[in-house]
């Protein structure tokens, strides 16, 4: 037995692959204060044997970073560079904002320290840190009560001798990590930021996984942000690699179901309770090493995901100018949307309930009752503030949410040089199917795919992932083949039998940023594809070399569930297309083969799909709902 577990902001999803190949799925309400308790409860519910493996996508590191609830962290760097993490780059995210909000830094200035050491750009050691100075620093850190220490010296990606000496001297003061272990790459600010994030969230991830390890008999693996999983032991030392692990699982799953439906490329659209994550996949999920999380650069390979604060729990409000806004604030799992029975503020889910798209008894196959009157009571004050009816306000909430999500899809498609009309939209998450066709219409997309396990696709994606580790080394002025060989030796030592892939970060001489391409591929062709031009006459240089090690795992076969219970379609009044209409409501498990026309609602255990007027749909042999407009 293998189990995929995705701990989302509102629900924790479980997908179980039984030894006979059957897939089973269920959800439990998430707990922000005790996420491990929910996972252990789910393992008890399925009576998972000790021989089972489970792969987990965790939000512990992400939540700690976003909510600034990480460890008390100190930053140790080269003397004279203690303000490195605070100064950052000169780039301004909000170019025309004269009074941008101040960034909430992870390390206070009083806990940033410089050490007398220096490594030259070519790796030559000009000055070693003295034992006496490191001992004085150790005493200061102890008095400051730090729980974690991030070490990042200049040019340590070329030679890590000084960092190793400092790390060894500071051991025993808490969670100690150095940049040559976390991100041994050029650019001191990005390397420092990545190391600080690892130190900031590492103790929490370490404690969380230790709690899981004590409570679970099964072997635990953690999905990384790059779409592959690592052992819990590795994740405890490299917590920064789990920052977007749940969304990465969704992209892996969406790419797999698109391939099963006959599409090599796909736009993935994951709308959960707290946020919406979108990505673009071409044969495999696209990776990046230039990601930003809450404004901080993270220099490790990650699935290229763009996130917006638009989920089922996103709160609607009227802003100072009298305009309707939706998100990024979310009701989360607790208290949740008003219709769940505990929240009071209007959310996207409440709007769906008021418009008849979610009925009181359909949520999680009736396991969780929806309170329609509470949804109405939450939206009424908003409607009064706007001077419109509650129904008009609910419809407006959904239009604003759709606009937010359309913009997100444009970021990963049009702004990356791709036409969204060339891709199917793979919609999943609890709310994805309710918005997908309307969003596709706005983008000119003609095909929408809603997977069979749409409400738990991130958890299913964890069962479709391989074990993966990424290795990198800066090579400016160094022997490229020598660095590749060293990385491959490390990969074979850590993952015997793994398939190894070489990649390189390449740029034109004089450029500030580079493109990651497979080793031996044409850089000029890649530059032409991404930027629209190339110059084969211009010299190039290799900045970083990378090795990706992957061990394939046994994966579930994507096929339609055999059990079918044929029932007649019910009828329901739903507000869609600007008016109330009576439309058929199908149970997805009861749908026979054949094409049907919208408008219609299709209900599943963890998700609902709205098929608007002018669209048709059918269920394919792999269980995907394919909608065409």
Residue of 314, 367, 374 whose CA lies nearest to 341? 374
Evaluate whether residue 307 is within a structural domain: no
One DSSP character per residue, 134-194 reads HHHHHHHHHHHT-SEEEEE-TTTTT--HHHHHHHHHHTTSSEEEEHHHH---S-HHHHHHH
Evaluate whether residue 575 is within a structural domain: no
Domain boundary among 205, 228, 251: 205
Evaluate whether residue 163 is within a structural domain: yes
Q: Are residues 198 and 318 in the same domain?
A: no
pLDDT band at 562 (very low <50, low <70, confident <90, very high): low
| Strands 73-78 and 112-115, bridge-based pairing | parallel
Return the pLDDT at 203. Answer: 96
The 10s digit of each residue's pLDDT in 267-306 is 999 998 778 899 999 888 989 988 888 889 999 999 999 8
Residue of 44, 48, 73, 209 whose CA lies nearest to 141? 73
Residue of 340, 335, 331, 339 whose CA lies nearest to 313? 331
Question: How many CA within 13 A on the CB side of residue 372?
Answer: 14
Domain boundary among 551, 585, 600: 551
**Residue-averaged pLDDT of the chain:** 90
Evaluate whether residue 387 is within a structural domain: yes
Q: Are residues 171 and 89 in the same domain?
A: yes
- Rounded distance, CA 80 to CA 252, Å? 43
| Strands 148-152 and 175-178, bridge-based pairing | parallel
At 365, give phi and psi (nearest 5°). 55, 35
Please say if the pLDDT value at position 332 is more than 80. no
Return the pLDDT at 563. Answer: 45
pTM: predicted TM-score of the whole model, two decimal places: 0.89
Q: How far is CA 191 from CA 165, 310, 543, in A?
A: 18, 30, 14
Return the pLDDT at 161. Answer: 97
- Give the DSSP H/E element, type plus range, for residue 219: strand 219-223
At 162, give phi and psi (nearest 5°). -65, -40
Please say if the pLDDT value at position 464 is more than 90. yes
- Rounded distance, CA 606 to CA 9, Å? 15
Containing domain of residue 133, as a range? 73-205
The 10s digit of each residue's pLDDT in 101-128 is 888 899 999 999 999 999 999 999 999 9
Pair of tokens at residue 426: 């793979």
Q: Are residues 392 and 476 in the same domain?
A: no
Task: Answer yes or no: are the C-beta atoms of 472 and 486 closer than 8 Å.
Answer: no
Residue 112's DSSP bridge partners are 75
Evaluate whether residue 605 is within a structural domain: no
Dihedral angle computed from the Cα positions of residues 509, 512, 516 and 519, in that order, rounded to the nearest 10 degrees: 20
CA angle 25, 29, 34 (to 5 degrees): 120
Please say if the pLDDT value at position 362 is more than 80. no
At 454, give phi and psi (nearest 5°). -60, -35
The whole-number average pLDDT for the span 79-86 is 94
Q: How far is CA 300 from CA 6, 360, 492, 559, in A?
A: 21, 44, 20, 34
Q: Are residues 101 and 189 in the same domain?
A: yes
The whole-number average pLDDT for the span 587-601 is 85
Task: Answer yes or no: are the C-beta atoms of 278 and 272 closer than 8 Å.
Answer: no
Q: Are residues 396 and 474 in the same domain?
A: no
Residue of 375, 401, 404 whose CA lies nearest to 390? 375
Can you give the C-alpha Rg of the chain in angstroms?
A: 25
Task: Answer yes or no: are the C-beta atoms of 199 and 161 closer than 8 Å.
Answer: no
Evaluate whether residue 344 is within a structural domain: yes
Query: What is the number of domains present in the chain?
Result: 3
430 Cβ contact partners less than 8 Å away, ≥ 6 residues apart: 10, 11, 271, 272, 273, 312, 455, 606, 607
Q: Are residues 97 and 194 in the same domain?
A: yes
pLDDT band at 361 (very low <50, low <70, confident <90, very high): low
Q: Are residues 78 and 177 in the same domain?
A: yes
Evaluate whether residue 28 is within a structural domain: no
Domain boundary among 551, 567, 593: 551
249 Cβ contact partners less than 8 Å away, ≥ 6 residues apart: 4, 6, 57, 223, 227, 457, 458, 459, 460, 461, 462, 465
CATH at residue 118: 3.40.50
Q: Are residues 381 and 476 in the same domain?
A: no
The whole-number average pLDDT for the span 542-569 is 79
Evaluate whether residue 611 is within a structural domain: no
């Amino acid at each position: 037995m293998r189990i995929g577990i995705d701990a989302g902001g509102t629900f924790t999803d479980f997908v179980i692959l039984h030894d006979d190949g059957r897939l089973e799925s269920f959800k439990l309400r998430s707990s922000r204060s005790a996420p491990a308790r929910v996972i252990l409860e789910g393992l008890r519910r399925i009576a998972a044997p000790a021989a089972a493996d489970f792969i987990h996508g965790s939000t512990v590191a992400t939540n700690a970073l976003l909510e600034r609830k990480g460890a008390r962290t100190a930053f140790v760097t080269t003397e004279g560079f203690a303000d490195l993490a605070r100064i950052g780059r000169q780039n301004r995210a909000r170019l025309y904002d004269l009074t941008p909000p101040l960034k909430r830094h992870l390390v206070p200035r009083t806990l940033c320290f410089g050490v007398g050491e220096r490594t030259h750009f070519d790796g030559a050691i000009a000055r070693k840190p003295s034992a006496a100075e490191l001992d004085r620093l150790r005493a200061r850190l102890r008095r400051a009560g730090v729980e974690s220490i991030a070490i990042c010296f200049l040019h340590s990606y070329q030679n890590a001798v000084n960092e190793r000496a400092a790390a060894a001297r500071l051991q025993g003061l808490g969670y100690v990590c150095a940049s040559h272990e976390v991100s041994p790459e050029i650019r001191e600010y990005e390397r420092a930021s990545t190391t600080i994030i690892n130190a900031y969230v590492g103790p929490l991830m370490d404690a969380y996984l230790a709690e899981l390890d004590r409570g679970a008999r099964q072997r635990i693996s953690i999905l990384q942000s790059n779409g592959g999983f690592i052992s819990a032991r590795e994740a405890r030392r490299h917590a920064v690699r789990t920052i977007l692990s749940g969304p990465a699982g969704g992209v892996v799953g969406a790419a797999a179901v698109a391939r099963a439906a006959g599409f090599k490329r796909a736009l993935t659209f994951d709308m959960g309770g707290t946020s919406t994550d979108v990505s673009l996949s071409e044969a495999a999920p696209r990776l990046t090493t230039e990601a930003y999380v809450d404004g901080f650069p993270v220099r490790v390979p990650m699935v290229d995901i763009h996130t917006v604060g638009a989920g089922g729990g996103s709160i609607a409000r009227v802003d100072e100018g009298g305009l309707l806004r939706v998100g990024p604030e979310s009701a989360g799992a607790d208290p949740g949307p008003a219709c769940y029975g505990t929240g009071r503020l209007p959310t996207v889910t409440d709007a769906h309930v008021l418009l008849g798209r979610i009925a009181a008894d359909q949520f999680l196959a009736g396991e969780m009752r929806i309170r329609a009157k509470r949804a109405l009571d939450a939206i009424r004050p908003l409607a009064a503030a706007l001077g419109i009816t509650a129904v008009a306000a609910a419809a407006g909430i959904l239009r604003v949410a759709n606009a937010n999500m359309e913009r997100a899809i444009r970021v990963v498609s049009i702004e990356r040089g791709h036409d969204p009309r060339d891709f199917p939209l793979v919609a999943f998450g609890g709310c994805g199917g309710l918005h997908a066709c309307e969003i596709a219409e706005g983008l000119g997309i003609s095909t929408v795919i809603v997977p069979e396990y749409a409400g738990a696709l991130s958890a299913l994606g964890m069962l479709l992932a391989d074990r993966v580790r990424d290795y990198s080394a800066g090579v400016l002025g160094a022997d490229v083949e020598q660095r590749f060989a060293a990385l491959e030796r490390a990969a074979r030592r850590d993952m015997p039998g793994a398939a190894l892939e070489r990649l390189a970060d390449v740029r034109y001489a004089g450029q500030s940023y580079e493109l990651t391409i497979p080793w031996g591929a044409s850089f000029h062709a890649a530059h032409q594809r991404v930027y629209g031009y190339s110059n084969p006459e211009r010299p190039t240089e290799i900045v970083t070399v990378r090795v990706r090690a992957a061990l394939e795992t046994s994966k579930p076969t994507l096929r339609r569930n055999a059990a079918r219970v044929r029932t007649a379609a019910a009828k329901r009044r739903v507000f869609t297309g600007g008016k109330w209409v009576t439309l058929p409501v199908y149970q997805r498990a009861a749908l026979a083969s054949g094409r049907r026309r919208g408008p219609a609602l299709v209900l599943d255990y963890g998700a609902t799909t709205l098929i608007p007027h002018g669209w048709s749909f059918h269920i394919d042999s792999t269980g995907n709902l394919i909608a065409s407009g």
